A and B are shown apart, each in its own frame.
Chain A
């Protein structure tokens, strides 16, 4: 079973590399990180700019790639489905095959410049955090892309449209809504509510983890007890990372179920 999984993944890797898009994606991060470090000043500045780009574009690229691959490898998938292969293995093979190259492209593309500019040694915890979050976000959004691809299997335009809208909503509009809610219900104690709401959006979760790394000193300036407990102890990091794990598990699991039951 494992050899089969590896075989399917390998096949995906080969076709991805042949397409060269993944290489370009990695090169973009390489150039970006290198120029940020070369022209933008010190380590924390570059890492923050990198994390801004990461929070914005990795979800978009991940989802588009996920859905694109479901559509592109339709014949391949349907051919394999005629063989006596466990659907589970096929699903995991496809998922690993597409998400790992994307993840590697980001990690290597950012890691190499961070390495040769010596930032990895100085700000190792912060670098590891940014790279790790990028990797996890890639996995989450590829699986979301898969899910949307399976949900809109026959209507590609609808699928892509939905993906873009979801990205726009999670990356930008969601925070606008949160801000609106905060101002509308400003009279009430909102700390718990605001934390809970932010926990529901994976991009916000990643952002909060970046914030915990770079802005703790500002967060400590807030006098509310709930925030202080949440951000001041390890609680914030633990909660955010476990929610990220949930965000990774649930769409993948739903995707798997849909894939298992789908009549192709």
Chain B
């Protein structure tokens, strides 16, 4: 019995010894014995903690190839001096927290980032401030990492010479939580990502998209805010994506959308709020999307749905004072609108069941008119146009005859 216990002890604890003794803390400070982060990384054993005291450290291409924790005390600044990438993580179980990183290199050929995580898993990048960077946090072929509460800000207003805030490429199971991204090209960019969980982020004022989702199946993003981005949010070429309780607002411009859907399949858009966008939801070649319980208020166009989209289901949404409710380029309708509340609805409810007795036609004649002759936009809300619209609603001639909501709600859906 005793021998078995000894054997067990040996089997369990001896291989684990280097990790158990890993409590070693290496302190880096500008006036201490170890004054460069590079030196500390070289000295450290796997599992060590490197604490960096406040101060300015000029460094780039700091490569971490063993499991380490890099902790900034009172937010030390690592200045990349405008050259290359600042921090490169090529090992599993690395944590980086509490730093300020500035001035990466900029290039039209290489994707220089403040923090690059390359082929690693189980990392945590947390509570860092990134300013004037080309790419912010760059994840390439990683698995199961966390990027949390970082603040990324850059001021290059040109789309071509700015990079993405949080860039994910061939990544599995990432968690992107509570970050703030401003002034980058895309706030959060995903390409070939599986099972992403993206929530509570704020992506404002980026040059292109607040969130850009490409070829990434089975992810979910919720409780995020996307405001005043050059082109809003784009979700493309993906399936099984859940989009819930996000706020899309103030995305203005001729090619700006609250949410752009392109070649999407089998996804849910639920409980989001779209406020004052030029186009709240734009859909092209997307199929089997459920758009339910969203609050779509005061946008230019609530929905712009191209004829290539089919079997999408709009139900229980609130459409409130949008300049135009639905716009489409086809006289036929392949989508379902059912049981929504439309503030422009003028019907009645004689049986008092909360559902209007006459169908609502969300494509107005005026939206067909401006499609043909955009200058007539200046006549919006004029009495003459309203008379035309009413006549067309009673006897549809130019608007799609089969696009209507048969059960329009009489009151807002809470």
B-contacting residues of A (Cβ < 8 Å)?
A: 41-42, 44-45, 48, 52, 55-56, 171-176, 178-179, 182-183, 186, 190-191, 194-195, 198, 204, 207-208, 210-211, 214-224, 227-228
Q: Are A42 and B320 in contact (CB under 8 A)?
A: yes
Q: Are B373 and A182 in contact (CB under 8 A)?
A: yes
**Is there a chain A Cβ closer than 8 Å to B15's Cβ?**
no
Q: Complex formed: what's the CA distance from A41 to B343 in Å?
A: 8
Q: Give the residue of B299, B377, B387, B412 whose beta carbon is less than 8 angstroms from that of A217.
A: B299
Q: Are B380 and A194 in contact (CB under 8 A)?
A: no
New A-B pairs, 11, CB < 8 Å, besides A172-B387, A215-B380: A42-B320, A44-B297, A172-B383, A182-B373, A207-B382, A208-B378, A211-B381, A218-B301, A220-B300, A221-B254, A224-B374
- Tell me the smallest distance from the CB of B305 to a CB of chain A, in Å: 15
Q: Are B321 and A173 in contact (CB under 8 A)?
A: no
Nearest neighbor of A190 in chain B, beta-carbon distance: B375
Q: Complex formed: what's the CA distance from A207 to B298 in Å?
A: 17
**Is there a chain A Cβ closer than 8 Å to B384's Cβ?**
yes
Number of interface residues of B (CB under 8 A): 36
Q: Complex formed: what's the CA distance from A262 to B134 in Å?
A: 76
Q: Are A218 and B381 in contact (CB under 8 A)?
A: no
Q: What 4 A-B pairs have minimum CB-CB distances, sorted nearest first?
A: A218-B300, A218-B323, A175-B384, A217-B300
Q: Are A218 and B278 in contact (CB under 8 A)?
A: yes
**Is there a chain A Cβ closer than 8 Å to B253's Cβ?**
yes
Contact A172:B377 (CB < 8 A) given known A217-B300, A218-B300: no
Q: Complex formed: what's the CA distance from A260 to B386 in Å?
A: 42
List residues of chain A with CB within 8 A of the CB of B372: 186
Main secondary structure of the interface of A (DSSP, over half): helix
Most chain B C-beta atoms within 10 Å of own C-beta, residue among A176, A179, A224: A179
Q: Are B380 and A218 in contact (CB under 8 A)?
A: yes
Q: Complex formed: what's the CA distance from A175 to B378 in Å?
A: 10
- Which residues of B311-332 have CB atoms within 8 Å of chain A's CB atoms? 320-321, 323-324
Contact A179:B323 (CB < 8 A) given known A218-B278, A220-B252: no
Q: Complex formed: what's the CA distance from A183 to B379 in Å?
A: 13
Q: Are B279 and A221 in contact (CB under 8 A)?
A: yes
Q: Are A222 and B374 in contact (CB under 8 A)?
A: yes
Nearest neighbor of A197 in chain B, beta-carbon distance: B378
Contact A172:B384 (CB < 8 A) given known A182-B375, A218-B324, A222-B377: yes
Q: Complex formed: what's the CA distance from A176 to B391 in Å?
A: 15
List residues of chain A with CB within 8 A of the CB of B254: 220-223, 228
- Tell me the smallest distance from the CB of B328 to a CB of chain A, in Å: 15
Q: Are A48 and B324 in contact (CB under 8 A)?
A: no
Most chain A C-beta atoms within 10 Å of own C-beta, residue among B297, B376, B378: B378
Q: Are A175 and B383 in contact (CB under 8 A)?
A: yes
